[in-house]
Structure 1
Amino acid sequence: MTAGLNARLDRISTDDRYLIVPMDHGLTMGAVQGLKDIEATVDGVTAGGADAVLTQKGVAPRVHPNKNGAGYIVHLNGSTTIGPDENDKRLTATAEEAIRAGADAVSLHINVGSTYEPKQIEDLAELTGEADRFGLPVLAMAYARGPDVDGTDPEALGHAVRFAEELGADVVKTGYSGDADSFEHVCESTRLPVVIAGGSKGSDRETIEMVRGAMDGGAAGVSMGRSIFQHDDPEAITRAVSAVVHEDRDAEDALRAAGLVQA
């Protein structure tokens, strides 16, 4: 691992723990709640303790002035909810373009088990080779998704995270299996830091209890989008997630510390 790679990993994490807030959903879903005024949302989540934010390259000028010194990740593929197939992720930028946009790392979405897996294997393998030349970390968003694939099955999730390691990623994001015990298998399937996706927005307690369970199962953190940026108070929910990820608090204590439940 090069000095440059280590330095950039440090920019998107704190003491090898990751709290990343992806906001590339503007491409996928449009200017939904939390993304119209992305400047305010970036300011709020980074003030609340996010280590890094993640977007597509085009909104980089709206991110940098508002990220309070946090890291920046550029996402390199995507699709839309109104297109023919949301699982068909197409390339949107290169590692070199991401660097020009000020990225500390890049990310790529892979649906392991989908009909698009063969092309996405090629895309991730090519990206990790290109990124390695620049000492640029790669976050692989490796989901278990496809016909007859259960996206919460720990065996399938374990395959997805190992897939990312085999192709040269540095950090891997995947779905949550539902409980700490089963998620241990997922984390033990790779030596990469594993971060969980947030999925659809749930209640504050559901969100924080999921984070606590993942951390208890061996996760290195979260990469959580809608549950944070669509929250009525993105800064507060980020503080609660940070209290679990970075301070090892239990769910109740984290919610209280963020002012999300009565003391």
Structure 2
Amino acid sequence: MNTGIAARLDRIGRDGRFVIVPMDHGITLGAVRGLKNIESTIDAVTRGGADAVLTQKGIAPRVHPNKNDAGYIVHLNASTTIGPDANDKRMTGTVEEAIRAGADAVSFHINVGSNYEPKQITELSEVTSKADKFGMPVLAMSYARGPDVDEHDAENLGHAVRLAEEVGADVVKTAYSGDSDSFEHVVESTRLPVVIAGGAPEGDEATLDAVRGAMDAGAAGVSIGRSVFQHDNPKAIARAVSGVVHDDLSAEDALAEVGLLANA
């Protein structure tokens, strides 16, 4: 790992652990709750303890004045839920554009097992090669998704995270397998730091239980979007997630500490 990548990883995490709040959903879902006034949401989650936020390049001017010295990641591909196939992620930016937007890292989504996997492998490999030249870390969002693919199967997820390492990513995000024991296989499948996705919101307790289970399995943190930025109190839930990731709290203790236990 070159010096630039190591230095920038420290900007999007702490001591090798990561609490990232992705808010690139404006392309995927539109201006949903939490994203219309994205400035206040970014301010809230970063004051709550998020180490970094993630958006598409065009949102950068709305990010920097409100991120409270947190890290910034620019996402480089996307699709929409109203398009013909949400698995068909297309390029929306370049490493150079992310640098000009003031990013500390870039991210790229790949659906392993989908009809678009071959093209996405090639594109991710190209992104990691270019990013390495600039000392820019790459977060690979590597999911097991496609026809007849179980998105939460530990073997599939282990394959997805290993693919990310094989093509040169620095951090890998994937789905949670549902329990700590099976997720150990996922973490052991790569030497990269593994962070878990949040998926559709299922409530505070379910969110924090998943975070705790992943951390117990050896994960390096989270990249949770809707369960944080659409929360009634995004600052509090971000602080609770940070408590589990950085302070090794139990899910119950983390929620209690921020006053959310009664709403779990």
Q: Does 1:107 align with 2:94?
A: no
Q: 1:199 corresponds to which residue?
A: 199
Q: 2:91 corresponds to which residue?
A: 91
SS at match of 1:254: helix
Q: 2:39 corresponds to which residue?
A: 39
1:178-230 CA-partner distances (Å, limit 9, x unpaired): 00000000000000000000000111111111100010111100000000001
What amino acid is the match of 1:242?
S
Q: Which runs of 5+ in 1 are unaligned?
A: none
Q: 1:30 corresponds to which residue?
A: 30
Q: Does 1:190 align with 2:167?
A: no
Partners of 1:64 and 1:202 lie apart in 2 by 30
What amino acid is the match of 1:124?
L
SS at match of 2:41: helix
Q: 2:218 corresponds to which residue?
A: 218
What amino acid is the match of 1:35?
L
1:133 shift after superposition: 0.3
1:98-138 CA-partner distances (Å, limit 9, x unpaired): 00000000000000000000100110000000000000000
Give the TM-score normalised by the residue count of structure 1. 0.99
What amino acid is the match of 2:154?
P
What amino acid is the match of 1:6?
A
1:234-254 CA-partner distances (Å, limit 9, x unpaired): 000001100000000001100
Partners of 1:125 and 1:15 lie apart in 2 by 27
What amino acid is the match of 1:191?
R
SS at match of 2:150: coil
Q: 2:63 corresponds to which residue?
A: 63
Partners of 1:249 and 1:261 lie apart in 2 by 13
Q: 1:135 corresponds to which residue?
A: 135
Structure 1 residue runs of 4 or more that deviate by more than 6 Å after TM superposition:
none
Q: Which runs of 5+ in 2 are unaligned?
A: none
Partners of 1:168 and 1:47 lie apart in 2 by 32
Q: 2:10 corresponds to which residue?
A: 10
SS at match of 1:246: helix
What amino acid is the match of 1:75?
H
1:2 shift after superposition: 1.4
Partners of 2:218 and 2:106 lie apart in 1 by 23
Alignment of 1:66-81 (within 5 A): 66-81=66-81
**Cα RMSD (Å):** 0.5
Give the TM-score normalised by the residue count of structure 2. 0.99
Partners of 2:155 and 2:70 lie apart in 1 by 34
SS at match of 1:259: coil
1:80-102 CA-partner distances (Å, limit 9, x unpaired): 01111110000000000000000
